[in-house]
A and B are shown apart, each in its own frame.
Chain A
């Protein structure tokens, strides 16, 4: 006879779980006790939210779930934001929470909370393990569910008595029956119809979402775009799925998207959308988006098809499988019909880049900081972001060269995601440089987790775009609330150099771009941790272009002294 929790650890070792993230507490002590002589390493975070964001990033990098282990009550409720974040961005992870013994259930015992009930709306699945012999089968099921189809977070609640009961190891062999959601085989008739629409379109455009990464369909996306000569536009998560230096990739469209990407959507008559839920941030106004456009929507999640945008053709299936079939059915010799359109789109990109390079750059300009960082960070390095204006500047100006290397909180927009995400990514891939592009607001929400940098030797590079304000909200107050600035400016911020010093990390506040380039180059070369505090003037930090919420892409607000016509003049425009 063995404690259930010892059998769980043995099973996790057998499943090649090498690390867990978390924080210990009363009701999860048996689990940690069982780790005492195990090969599984514990990364002890300083707040549960940090642990779960780190697990989220680890899952996105490794494409398998990290397990986060915390105690009951506040330990468990501190996970909720991270669960919602992972759910929105389809990231696999397993959260294990300690729970008061079953005899105390419902008696408002110390640190009792109904975490299963609380977390149901923000998880893919939950388990409450009341029988100790269920513990191992439930873990196996949770692992499988987290990566089945569209990935997501799964929570397991472990009452303390169930962890401690001795059971016969033979009783854990059974499997929990879960009704796995197997994506249907692509329907050839729908694919043929979709192809017909694409091949007869005047200006087809592909919209790539995060599902392309999970499906591993980057090559198929590029092949189809090349065969048809079709521009590729992305969502914020889709930015991670295609290389920006590909000539057909126009970047992300939407609220803080690239003008050439917005122009591609505005002028499209057919949109092939792959692995996206059509966020309002990407298309702006759903009614305008649908007007005059035929939408082909491919998604593994049936509930996404027709949810926000009703497509002409909805194909439920794995993106890679559907696109592969589409390629097979494609005529072999195709005339490239859309070169003039693509040249026109690239002309918009060039005009915008030229404009940016000429703008007065007293002090640090966020977009230019990103250019400098991109020059010195190797193409295969992993970049994560916090949430705020720095994230939107990154959406506009951070070039992703290697798919899978850009991690951001897109759906939930969780400030504080950056530091723990960087830690999780670096733990997943210690051989790869990891850069966190952060803001001073976002940084302060989870900065206590910097303690892990020295404790476990996790050398990440953190740049703070330090404008001493909650810039995106300030931006909205200026543009949409008649400049009534309230509750955004940090009049007294901590000295981030002293914060760095307190955590034993080198801190640098560069005075110019060369100094910035040099310190980050050195950190990459030496694989050393550094916090770089880049002072940004909040009066100049408006992320433009900007499509106000609910507006159509054509209603974009351009940067000062810059304007282009986003309506395509036709193939005879002379481009």
Chain B
């Protein structure tokens, strides 16, 4: 069994038709992931939405959540990294 770790997930979204739907859609994905959400902050300004998440779980499960988020049509970019690792380590990106 893989080790559980703490990860930072950062999501950038954009939705010019209904901004808040993008957030709810992303939450629907996250709530189905086998990860524990320890902290989440959502910053909405104009049509850009930034979601920062601290999650605990196996890396495969964190990757699953990010891959599912990356499929959404309002998602511009998703990245995750182990919490202790410097931000420069980009593991998943649709940018």
Selected contact of A302 from candidates B60, B70, B72, CB within 8 Å: B70
Are A128 and B18 within 8 A (Cβ)? yes
Q: Which of A125, A178, A179, A306 contacts B94 (CB 8 A)?
A: A179
Q: Which residues of A contact B73 (CB under 8 A)?
A: 124-125, 145, 178-181
| Alpha-carbon gap, A178 to B74, bound state (A) | 6
Report the separation of the CA atoms of residues A145 and B17 in the bound assembly, to the nearest whole angstrom: 15
Q: CB distance A129 to B17 under 8 Å?
A: yes
Q: Which chain B positions have C-beta within 8 A of A112?
A: none
Beta-carbon contacts of A480-494 to B below 8 Å, as 1s and 0s? 000000000000000
Interface string of B68-86 (1 = CB under 8 A from A): 1011111110000000000
**For chains A and B in complex, what number of residue pairs have CB atoms within 8 angstroms?**
58
A-chain residues with CB within 8 Å of residue B72 when the two chains form the complex: 125
Asked if A120 is at the interface of the complex by the 8 Å CB criterion, the answer is: yes
- A178, B72: Cα distance in complex, Å: 10
Q: Could you say which of A124, A145, A177 contacts B16, with CB atoms under 8 Å apart?
A: A177
Q: Which of A456-473 contact B (CB under 8 A)?
A: none
Check A134 for interface membership: any CB of B closer than 8 A: yes
Q: Using Cβ atoms and an 8 Å threshold, which residues of chain B touch A364?
A: none
Q: Are B74 and A179 in contact (CB under 8 A)?
A: yes
Tell me the bound Cα distance from A117 to B64 in angstroms.
23
Q: Which residues of A contact B63 (CB under 8 A)?
A: 306
Residues of chain B within 8 A (CB-CB) of A129 are 17
Asked whether B67 is an interface residue with its Cβ less than 8 Å from the other chain, the reply is: yes
Q: How many residues of B contact A (CB 8 A)?
A: 22
Q: 1/0 per position for A294-320, CB-CB distance to B under 8 A?
A: 000000011101110010000000000
Chain A residue contacts of B67, Cβ below 8 A: 302-303, 305
| B21 interfacial contact with A, CB 8 Å | yes
Least Cβ distance of A312 to chain B in Å?
15
Closest residue to A177 on the B side, CB-wise? B16
Cα distance A133–B72 when bound, in Å?
Answer: 24
A26: Cβ under 8 A from any B Cβ: no
Give the docked Cα–Cα distance between A116 and B17 (Å).
Answer: 13
Within 8 A of B (CB), among A169-185: 176-181
Docked-complex contact A176 and B16, CB < 8 angstroms: yes
Asked if A270 lies at the interface with its beta carbon under 8 angstroms from chain B, I say no
Q: Say whether, besides A145-B73, A181-B71, A307 and B18 are in contact (CB < 8 Å).
A: no
- A138 contacts the other chain (CB 8 A): yes
- Expressed in whole angstroms, the minimum distance between the Cβ of B67 and any Cβ of chain A is 4
User: CA A117 – CA B68 in complex, angstroms?
Assistant: 18
Partner of A306, one of B28, B60, B75: B60
Which residues does chain B contribute within 8 Å of A125, judged by CB atoms? Answer: 25, 72-73
Q: A127 and B71: CB pair below 8 A?
A: no
Question: A511 near B: Cβ within 8 Å?
Answer: no
Binding site for B on A (CB under 8 A): 116-117, 120-121, 124-130, 134, 138, 145, 176-181, 301-303, 305-307, 310
12 contacts between A and B (CB under 8 A): A121-B28, A121-B32, A125-B73, A130-B18, A178-B74, A181-B70, A181-B71, A181-B73, A302-B71, A303-B64, A305-B67, A306-B60
Closest 5 CB pairs of A and B: A303-B67, A178-B73, A303-B68, A302-B67, A125-B73
Instruction: Contacts A176-B16, A181-B71 known; list 7 others, CB within 8 Å.
Output: A124-B73, A125-B72, A128-B21, A129-B17, A134-B17, A179-B73, A303-B64
